[in-house]
Amino acid sequence: MEKIALITGASRGLGAALAEALAPRFHIVAVARTVGALEELDDRIKARGGDATLVPLDINDDGAMQHMCRSVHDRWGHVNLWAHTAVHVPPLSPAAHVDARDLKKTVETNVTATSRLIGYMDPLLRAAPGSSAIFFDDPHRGEKFFGAYAATKAAQITLAESWQAETEKLEPKVHILRPAPMPTATRARFYPGEERSDLSAPSAEAERLLKEVLG
């Protein structure tokens, strides 16, 4: 049985680093919106002796996500590992001035789409013995200007924690990991002008985090 790793948010940052680290042990199903970045990822995966299926889709497109999961089922019948790194980061703002459109998109991406994907991925993961799902915590609760992001990220992790408790004696094994600070585009929006030389490289974090999951 071919091992399948599906990465949502695979085009850059930690998602791309996880995809590279998992190749060639897994066939990578790389899901992201940016076609060019996915093609560059594919080149790097091939350079490592791996292969990938590129899926240039937005996780908020529910019909497309249903079709993608059905296609994965029809081709392979299972997923061994799902890593969910896709996230929307709204502009930081005071809680009293959160833009309604930004909040709506943040809720849709970080909470609603995650909830739907858990439902779609669950049967694919249960079809593979020893399967894993990975979520990544980024707590900013109570910090100034982080209200919209922190609230939706906390809701996402709460969904994952419930799924983790529900599958404790079943498949998949749900992991909630906390990456070290990395010089990603997301962090640059939070801390512009930050000295980035001391931050952990996404590739190093991917290797470290995967050891917690795969040993």
Cα distance between residue 165 and residue 156, in whole Å: 15
3-state secondary structure (DSSP) of residue 53: strand
Mean pLDDT over each residue of the chain, to the nearest integer: 96
Sorting pLDDT into bands at 50, 70 and 90, what band is 215? confident
Domains in the chain, CATH or no CATH each: 4-214 (3.40.50.720)
DSSP symbols for 130-172: T-EEEEE----TT-TT-HHHHHHHHHHHHHHHHHHHHTTTSSS
What percent of the chain is predicted at pLDDT more than 90?
Answer: 93
Average pLDDT of the residues in 88-107 = 96
Is pTM beyond 0.85 here?
yes
Residue type, 95: A
Longest CA span, the chain: 53
Sorting pLDDT into bands at 50, 70 and 90, what band is 59? very high
Tokens describing residue 60:
């908020």
Kindly give, in sequence order, each residue whose CB lies less than 8 Å from that of residue 215, ignoring residues fewer than 6 positions away: none
Tokens describing residue 142:
């109570």
Q: Where are the beta strands (DSSP E) in the chain?
A: 4-8, 27-32, 52-56, 81-84, 132-136, 173-177
Sorting pLDDT into bands at 50, 70 and 90, what band is 82? very high
| pLDDT of amino acid 76 | 98
Span 157-204, pLDDT tens digits: 999 999 999 999 999 999 999 999 999 988 988 998 889 989 999 999
Residue 77: enclosing H or E segment and its boundaries?
A: none
| pLDDT of amino acid 153 | 97
Average pLDDT of the residues in 108-120 = 98
User: The tokens 């991406």 sit on which residue?
Assistant: 109
